[in-house]
Amino acid sequence: MSLPVRLAQRVAQLLGCTRTEAEQYIRNGWVSVDGHVVEAPQQRVTDEHVEVNAEASAEAVEPATILLHKPAGFDGDGGSNPASGLVTPENHWAHDASGVRRLQRHFHRLTPLVPLEREASGLMVLSQDGRVWRRLTEDADQIEHEYLVEVEGEIAPYGLRRLNHGLSYNGRPLPPCKVSWQNEVRLRFAIKAARPGQLRDMCRQVGLEVVSIRRLRIGRIPLGKGPEGAMPPGQWRYLPVGERF
């Protein structure tokens, strides 16, 4: 049996490259040991079969941004039942068309951004990318979100007009937004800078009670649709490289 060596050393020998380049190949998920992808350059190997993917590239991998369909009942940020726990390899949406290769490193240090209330469902963002963090925090008030809100009750006279412009929240007049009926029980909101509880309060002011809230879009990024319809609750996809909110 051969003496144990670091996987990076074995890859450097196989490819005739530097140890630094070998470590990058491994971290990028291009190296398998006995048929299993290993992303840890420090792992020790002896006589195992080490193989480097023919398409291997030493270019740095972009930090991941995850688009999750949060089900109602999960906490958007912390809490006892965090939605971040749903971001597992098993819940990766089969129709993810991003082209991003799934790596173990993508499941670490994910920061929840623009979280949803526990009772709401729909699009939620978790990211490792500082650029995405800055966009969704520093520019939050300029980014339009789209919600589908199921309601019950009878809307007050001129209620739809008031939902679009004319209501206040926490003592402050609300800026105009776009609200329309999708059917007899569902309203579609396109709104910027909505605060927790605001949509429920707006509906209540015009005589409606909210049954459910689902976020469909953040900026230019939708929940996602595939051959079988929308991405199901509890599943996630990658934000494709180059797409922006």
Domain regions of the chain by residue span? 5-52, 65-140+220-238, 144-218
Mean pLDDT of the chain: 94
User: Rounded distance, CA 69 to CA 174, Å?
Assistant: 28
Q: Which fold has domain 144-218?
A: Pseudouridine synthase (3.30.2350)
Superfamily of domain 5-52: RNA-binding S4 domain (3.10.290.10)
Quote the pLDDT of residue 1. 62
- pLDDT (tens digit, 9 = 90+) per residue, 73-86? 999 887 889 999 99
166: left (phi over 0), alpha (psi -120 to 50) or beta: left
Quickly state the pLDDT bin for 28 (edges 50, 70, 90). Answer: confident
**What confidence tens digit (pLDDT) does each residue in 150-171 have?**
999 999 999 999 999 999 999 9
Say yes or no: domain 65-140+220-238 is CATH 3.40.462.10.
no
